[in-house]
Structure formats: C-alpha cells, structure tokens
Structure 1
Amino acid sequence: MSTEKVQIFDTTLRDGEQVPGCKLDTEQKLLIAARLDELGVDVIEAGFPISSPGDFTSVSEIARIVKNATVCGLTRAVEKDIEVAAEALKYAKRPRIHTGIGTSDSHIQYKFNSTREKVLERAVAAVRYAKRFVDDVEFYAEDAGRTDNDYLAQVCEAVIKAGATVLNIPDTTGYCLPEEYGAKMKYLRDHVGGIEKAILSCHCHNDLGLATANSISGVIHGARQIECTINGIGERAGNTSLEEVVMILKQHPYLDLDTSINTRLLYSTSQMVSQKMGMPVQPNKAIVGSNAFAHSSGIHQDGVIKKRETYEIINPEDVGVNESSIVLTARSGRAALAYRAKKLGYELTKVQLDAVYGEFLKFADRKKEVDNEDIHQIVEISAVEIEKVTS
C-alpha cells in the first residue's frame, strides 16, 4: 500500500506567538519562517494581519521570502479582515486565507449572541469573499470539538460549496478524547456532501494533554492536515507539538501516513524557537527535550550500551541529536562507568573498574551528576588503591 501524505500546517508564528511574553519582532519571525520552510512544512501560518501593523508587516515580509510552503494569514469572518489578509499575502507564491467562525452552541449564544442559521450565513459569506482574492481558502469551525456533529456537517458542506479547500476542525478547548475526535472526523467524511473536494485538518489544543493523541486519531480517521507548533507552544497549555506528530507517523509506518518534514532539523529548530521566544523546553519533552535520549538508570544504561534499541525507539540522529547521553549518577552501574571512562581514554580491567567504581559512588552520593572532570579525579584517586590490589 502506498503511503499517503499528511500536510504539516505550522502555526508557531500565529497561535504559538500568542503565548504571554513570547512576542517576536519581524526580523525574528523571518528567521523562524525561513527555517520552517527549510524544515519542509507545507503551510506556514504567518500571523493575523489585521491584529496590528506589526503583524501585517511580518506576514507581508514572510510572504516575500518563503520559497516552498504555502503562506497563510488568519482572519475572522469579517470582510475587512479578509481584505487586509489578502493585501498582506499578495507577494506569496502560494497564498492561503484562513477564515472562520465559532460553531458550538456556546460560541453562538454567548460569543455572538446569534443563531445557528445566522452563523452559517456568515461562514458561507466569509469563504465566498475570501475566494475573490485567493484560490486556497481554509475555513475554521472554532470550537468544533464541542459542536454538534449534524450542525458541523451542515456548515462544512455549505462552505465547501462556497469554495473552501481546507476544513479546519479545531478542538479549541482541548476537551475531546481521542476516540471522540477521531469519530468526529469520520462522521464528517461520511456525512458531508462534496467532502472529497476539501482537506480535513486537525487543530488540537493541549488543555488535557491530549493534543498529539487527538491529532493522530484525526488523521487515522481521514484528516490529511495537522496544525501544530514547534515545541507545542500556544495558548494556555499549548498546541499539538509538530515534532511529536511527525515522529509518530515516521515511527509507525503501518499507518501508511507520512510527512515531508526533514526530521534531522527538528532538534535545532526546537532550540531556535526556544531561544527566540524565550520559552525553555522542558527537559522531559518528547523528541526534543534534553532528557529525551538521556539515560541515568544502571539497568537502562547497560541495555543501551549493548544495543541502543533496547530502550530507544528513535535514533537520536534522526531528529538531529548527535548521540544518546549516558548520565552518570548514583544509580549508574559499572557498565556505564566503564563506557564513559573508555571515551576519556581509560581502558580499565575488571579489577581496576571495581576500585574506580567504589570511588565513583562516593562522588555520586555528593553530586547530582558525575562529569568528565570528576572521572579524571576518580581515576587518579583510585590509582593508589589499584596499585595495592595489583601488587
């Protein structure tokens, strides 16, 4: 069976930048956009052009420099928003306008003080108007995760007829369970007339820690675009993590789904975004965290030294990390100590290793981690004991 492509829609520069304290200037956004293009993302959501003059300028400048990816600008279902977005995107090789409106009863009643019928009319009108400026129009049904499926299908069918090329089905509040979100995608595939004319897209938030799981469930059930951010940054608890969904699809070939991402650039891209935004990556972050390929338990270290795949399902080099880390702590065993000592030029016999290991444990009890300089000291201190044992 041939592998189907899942498009990667990166919204680091729009949804990701909405994190408090992570404001980027245009120069920083251009650097990140260029890297995202090199990484191989299919769509770069460059910003929300009408939100500020600075955002308009950033979207416009990104549209000029991006060589391969589609460049997308967000709007509300408002004509002025759409006009401004079209102006910002006029230099893009592949422009997309991303417009939409809330479709859940909660949004309709409390956000818009409106009715389902009027919201449907606004959705169709927005897509038709955006279609006057660009061929590629993505429609978002905000809070689709909590939207009644029958009504959601009705809206989707109507906007496809109006010219929408992509249907974004956001779990805006991160409320859905993976089974529910996947079932929603399947329902739309089965009940929306003309669904073959549009791409279903996952846009999941991480309020309950399910953004990645929901997105994978979505593509398993028919979506062919995932909207995500580098390091999973975004509103509140964040968005779907780009590096996570990309590596899940890569590591599970039986899903017959893959992306065009150059995975060897994932770690350096993660570091770049972290530095520019001033948002540290948590050490235990999957794929790109500093501990993602680090081992401190003696049992794990022994297994990894003998055969890396014993405790690692991903080759670190595949995501741009040079090698696994053997972290020496009080929980480390002789195998790990011998491994590190050998890297530093010490070929220890079993007798020598026993003597050095005893001294190593003294250091390890005093420190959280034993480093290379400590190893040199340990070997020197142990030399006298080794001499006694061997004389």
Structure 2
Amino acid sequence: MTLNQFAIVESTLREGEQFVGANFSSDDKLEIARALDEFGVEYLELTSAAASPKSKRDCQRIAGLGLNTKVLTHIRCHQEDAKIALDAGVDGINLVIGTSYFLREYSHGKDIDTIIELASEVLTFIREQAPEVELRFSTEDSFRSTYEDLSRVYLALDKLGVVDRFGIADTVGVSTPNRVYDLVRMVRAQTDAYIEFHGHNDTGCAIANCYAALDAGATHIDTTVLGIGERNGIAPLAGFIARMYAEDKELIKQKYNLPALAPVHEIVSQKVGLPIPVNHYIVGDCAFNHKAGIHTKAMLNNANAYEIIDPTDFGLNRNIQITHKLTGWHAIANRVSQLGLDLSISKIKTLTKQIKEMADQKDLTLNEVDDLLWAAAQAPNSVPSNRK
C-alpha cells in the first residue's frame, strides 16, 4: 500500500443526509462543506442534483464556493440524472447501479447485460458532454454480487476508456477485511483506473474494511463525519484518520489540517442533534483520558506508553484523572506540581491513600481533591518536597 496515493471522498453531504436525524438546510451544507475543506479532504460528495430542486441549487452553490476540495454529485445510472448533474457545475459525477441478485430482482429489475448497456450509454454521454469531469462508476451491493457478474461489468466498462474511478460498495455492511482485500485485488488486476471503496458499518467492520481495501490497491475511501448515514452509517472520518495516523503520522499531518477535525465534528453534531459519543475516535471526550494508576505513571514518563495518537497534533489535550480509587501517587504528584504546591513524596503517598478511601465512599470532584492538596500544603507541619 502506498499511503500517499489515497484520497478521502467525504460523503457527509450525501450519505450523511440519509442518516435518520439529518435534515441539513442549504446554509448548513455550506458550513459543513467549508469546514471539511478546511480540514483538507480531497473530495466532497453531494446528494444527487436530480433528487430535488433544492439539491440541485445546493450543488451549484457549493460547486461555486471555490473550495480546494473537488465537488462531486452521486447519481443513478440515468441519462436525465446525468444531464441535471452536468448542469450543476460539479467537478465530478459518481454513477451507481446495483449488481446483486437482491437489487436486480427487487430494485431496478435489470439483468447484467442491460446494466452494462445502460451504464455504457450514460458514461459515454457524460464524457462526450464534459471531457474534464471526473467520472466514477460503482456497483452497488458489490459483496452480494458474484465475482463473475462484477468482472463482466468492470471489464466491459473499463474498455470504454472513459471511467476515471471504479467504485466497490459494501452496501449492507456484510463484508470482512479478507473479502474486501480479495475483491479489490480482483478489480485492481482488471483495470489501471482508480478504485474507490464505500463500506457500511452494520457489522462493525467499516474502518478495517477501508484499510484492507487500501492494502489491496484501492485509492479512494468514503467517509462521513461521526460515521452517519443510512442505518448504522459508513466508515467515520475520525476513525479512518486515526487508523491512517497510526500507520504514518507524519504523512497524515502533511495531508490534513488535523486541528480542524474536532470543529467539523462539533458542527455536524449540532446540525443532526447527536452528541459526539464520549468514546468516538480522537474527538470524543474520553479519547485521551487516562485513569488507572499503572497507566498514568507510564503516561507521565512517556505519553507513547499508552497513546498511539498524540492529541496535541489535533489541537487537543490529554487528561490524567485523579478523582477515583484507581489513582496512583504519581498522578497525584503531577497534580501537586500543576498546582505549584510543595509536598514531600511521603505526604503525597499518604494523600493518595486518603483520596482512594474517600473515592470508595462517594464520587469525588477535582475541586475536592484540589482542596485536600491545598490544605495539606498549607498545614503547619507540612514537609517540603526536598525531604522524604
């Protein structure tokens, strides 16, 4: 896997609109688009311009903002949809059609030969009308489609010479990393075009599947802020960034404006009425909280002992908790130092034991612990820190 070849197709303004709590106004979309552009995603994917008059106007407004990110719209494999998308002035058009038995039987009702014929017509039409537009074709429900059917579709459309990027979609979240790897490798062997992966999170594999796709030769990964989308949503932006940061943090620091990650999550959280989960990747309140005594001792010596991600790269802080029965004297000593107090190690150890006993009886606040430390430092018989 060559990490510097991957790009993020950020789909909060398309897939994210399908989240049960999402009802973005036009101004909401502009605010989110600007925030994602500030973070530095390479692509923004918008709801089909053919979905409604407002959707088309929103596409036109966002496409006209002059963002650094490329603006895409997602459409069905219909020529009328393509005409409306072209009129919206976007940088790229993402076509999709279902290839699984379920979608051929119960959705559009077309067989594989008809799918190839229809897709060929629409792709050729778009390329003739707009040679400069980026063009992606994706099979929907790829992992419940047969390899034979997928191979026929991708090979036939690749021969047209008009597709910039082929999409592979785990539409119902059924796949596993091994299966993703195998399918992406198959498509990679059949085309030199870029490969995009779209993974739903119904079974909790979305981030791992994205990583497997990249490992197999994919180049573009779909995400949404907070992972919102249809049902359980798709790979969350922060989770994908966390995975790739752990792989090569210097590259991720160069590619993206990491301190802008938390603000875009706060914006989307407010727009959809969904609090950021406390355990969400990087931006959750507990992401850099440390509690257990053996953890905090190591953390105070070297933060890498229990952190794979440096919060300061994202403009965030870590928190060493001390108001509980698991606290250790190293953590209390650190708090004493933060407060500028002068207490001996033996006194700190005694206070730590006292804090543990108090925490067994009730929930402590940081103010209560601080009051205890201040009182000990101001006591007439307190021992300076240079004595044990």
Asked if these proteins are the same fold (TM beyond 0.5), I'd say yes
SS at match of 1:72: strand
* Residues 46 and 62 in structure 1, CA contact (< 8 A), matched pair in contact too: no
Q: CA deviation at 1:177?
A: 0.7
Q: 2:257 matched to 1:250?
A: no
* Structure 1 residue 233, shift from structure 2 partner: 1.6
Task: State the distance in 2 between where 1:83 and 1:383 align.
Answer: 75
2:62 — aligned with what? Answer: 62
Aligned to 1:128: 124
What are the superposed Cα offsets for residues 70-122 of structure 1, whole Å, 9 maximum, x if unpaired?
Answer: 1001111112211222222x2x4xx1011120011221112122322112222
Inter-partner Cα distance in structure 2 for 1:133 and 1:97 = 12
In structure 2, how many angstroms separate the alpha carbons of the residues matched to 1:297 and 1:365?
15
Q: Distance in 1 between matches of 2:262 and 2:240?
A: 14
1:296 aligns with 2:279: no
Name 1:139's counterpart in structure 2: 137
Is the partner of 1:138 in helix, strand or coil? strand
Offset of 1:269 from its aligned partner? 2.3
Aligned CA distance change for structure 1 residues 345 and 131 (closer, same or farther; 3 Å)? same
Deviation at 1:201, TM superposition (A): 0.6
Instruction: Please tell me the residue identity of whatever aligns with 2:266.
Output: Q
1:181-234 residue CA offsets vs partner (Å, 9 max, x unmatched): 1100001122x2xx11x2111100000100010111011101111111122221
How many angstroms does 1:127 deviate by?
1.6
SS of the counterpart of 1:65?
Answer: coil
Residue 368 of structure 1: how far off its partner (Å): 4.2
* Percent identity of paired positions between Structure 1 and Structure 2: 29
- Structure 1 residue 311 and structure 2 residue 311: aligned? no
Query: Which amino acid is the alignment partner of residue 139 of structure 1?
Result: F
Trace 1:1-391 onto structure 2 (pairs within 5 A). 4-88=4-88, 90=89, 92=90, 95-134=91-130, 135-162=133-160, 163-190=162-189, 192=190, 195-196=191-192, 198-253=193-248, 260-321=255-316, 323-328=317-322, 329-368=324-363, 370-371=365-366, 373-380=367-374, 382=376, 387=381
Partner secondary structure for residue 387 of structure 1: coil
Deviation at 1:35, TM superposition (A): 1.5
Post-superposition Cα deviations, 1:15-60, rounded to whole Å, max 9, x if no partner, equal 0121112211111111111121121111101222222222222111
**Distance in structure 1 (CA, Å) of the matches to 2:331 and 2:48:** 51
5+ long unaligned stretches in structure 1: none
Equivalent-residue separation in structure 1 for 2:125 and 2:96 (angstroms) = 12
SS at match of 2:287: coil
Equivalent-residue separation in structure 1 for 2:175 and 2:109 (angstroms): 25
* Separation in 1, partners of 2:242, 2:258: 8
Give 3-state SS (helix, strand or coil) of 2:138's partner: strand
Equivalents in 1 of 2:294, 2:102: separation in Å?
52
TM-aligned CA deviation for residue 173 of structure 1: 0.6
Query: Hey, what's the Cα distance between the residues in 1 that align with 2:303 and 2:280?
Result: 20
- Name the CA shift for 1:186/1:352 in 2 (closer, same or farther; >3 Å): same
**Is the CA contact 1:246–1:259 (under 8 Å) kept in the aligned structure 2?**
no
Q: CA deviation at 1:311?
A: 0.3
| CA RMSD, Structure 1 to Structure 2 (Å) | 2.4
Whether the aligned pair in 1 keeps the contact of 2:343 and 2:377 (CA below 8 Å) is: no
Distance across 2 between alignment mates of 1:122 and 1:10: 27
Q: Using the alignment, how far apart are the partners of 1:138 and 1:25 within structure 2? A: 27
1:328-367 CA deviation, whole Å, 9 max, x = no partner?
2221111112212321222321232134224422442355
Q: Structure 1 residues 341 and 279, CA, compared in 2 at 3 Å: closer, same or farther?
A: same
Contact 2:44–2:69 (8 Å) recurs in 1? yes
| Displacement of 1:274 | 1.6
CA contact (8 A) 2:226 2:237 kept: yes
State the distance in 2 between where 1:262 and 1:164 align.
Answer: 30
**Distance change >3 Å, CA 258–CA 342, structure 1 → 2:** closer
Query: SS where residue 186 of structure 1 aligns?
Result: helix
What secondary structure sits across from 2:73 in the alignment? Answer: strand
CA distance in 1, matches of 2:134, 2:164: 6
2:97 maps to a residue whose letter is I
Letter in structure 2 aligned against 1:266 = L
Name the SS for the 2:159 alignment partner: helix
User: Structure 2 vs 1, CA of residues 204 and 388 (structure 1 numbering), >3 Å: closer, same or farther?
Assistant: closer
Paired with 2:282 and 2:71, the residues of 1 have a C-alpha distance of: 26
> In structure 2, what is the Cα distance between the partners aligned to 1:303 and 1:133?
61
Closer/same/farther in 2, CA of residues 275 and 219 from structure 1, 3 Å limit: same
Query: How many positions carry a matched residue from both structures?
Result: 379
Conserved? CA contact 1:123–1:155, under 8 Å: no
Q: CA deviation at 1:253?
A: 3.7
Could you tell me which runs of 5 or more consecutive residues in structure 2 were left unpaired when the two chains were aligned. Answer: none
